[in-house]
Amino acid sequence: MTARKKPTTAPAPLIDEEGEVRELTEEDFRRFRPMSERPDLLALVKGQGRPPLPPSKKKQRVTMYLDPDVLARLKADGKGWQTRANAALRKALGL
């Protein structure tokens, strides 16, 4: 087993003054370690994200056939068309 060499100088910051990530070097990749070796950081990351919904509030996956013009109109406004379709159905059904 070989001991890891400690760098003699501090590595260059990964982010510059403008907040841009610089190009990574081979030395950077050698220094990177998996999150499993940093339980302190892993605990911070695991707590992020949305809390799970109760089963009664989760949306259900369905398969349905729509006319091409209906689908084209839903997709015309870009991303989020499924959410908009859900909202339109809720409005049409008085929910």
Which domain, by its residues, includes 87?
A: 60-92
What total of structural domains would you count in the chain?
Answer: 1
Check residues 21 and 50 and name the one with the higher pLDDT.
21
Q: Is residue 37 part of a domain?
A: no
| pLDDT tens-digit readout, 41-81 | 887 777 677 788 898 888 899 999 999 999 999 999 999 99
Q: According to the model, what pLDDT value does residue 84 have?
A: 93
Which pTM value belongs to this model? 0.46
- SS3 assignment for the chain: CCCCCCCCCCCCCCECCCCCECCCCHHHHHHCCCHHHCHHHHHHHHCCCCCCCCHHHCCCCCCCCCCHHHHHHHHCCCCCHHHHHHHHHHHHCCC
| pLDDT tens-digit readout, 27-40 | 889 888 888 888 88
Q: Is residue 64 part of a domain?
A: yes
